[in-house]
Amino acid sequence: MNRLFRPIAILACFLAVLVSGSILFYMNIEGWQIIDAFYFTVTVITSLGHPDLIPSSSASKIFTSFLAFIGIGTVLTLVALVSTAYTEKTCRVK
């Protein structure tokens, strides 16, 4: 088993919990439909930031700020670990 499997699995689970929690937050606080909450969460954590949806409450704006810091870092770390694992596996095969 690859030494990076466990950190990748932990980060993927954390990201799933983060996205799910964010969706529930936006559905409850902003009153958005599930697809809008999912879309907004993905645009925030991938740093796309389309202005289609904009949080209206102060709580949502603060939450979104923290979501961006935590989510972008998590996504970038996960991509880096997956690419490292792929590179190590590819180099080992040759």
Answering whether pTM is above 0.75, one says yes
Which residue's entry shows tokens 């904009």?
54
**Sequence-distant (≥ 6) Cβ neighbours of residue 18 within 8 angstroms:** 45, 67, 70, 71, 74
Distances, alpha carbon 41 to alpha carbons 6, 38, 70, 85, 91, in Å: 25, 5, 12, 27, 35
- Mean of the pLDDT values across residues 28-47? 95
Selection from 71, 57, 73 nearest residue 19 by Cα: 71
- Domain with 51, as residue range(s), is 5-93
**By the 8 A CB rule, do 29 and 60 touch?**
yes
Q: Can you give the CATH number for the domain in which 32 is found? A: 1.10.287.70
Lowest mean pLDDT among 2-6, 16-20, 29-33: 2-6
* pLDDT per position as a tens digit, 66-77: 999 999 999 999
Higher-scoring residue by pLDDT: 57, 48 = 57
* pLDDT per position as a tens digit, 26-37: 999 999 999 999
Q: How far is the first Cα of the chain from the last one, in angstroms, to the nearest whole number?
A: 18
Distances, alpha carbon 44 to alpha carbons 22, 86, 88, in Å: 10, 26, 30
pLDDT of residue 1: 53
Tally of domains in the chain: 1
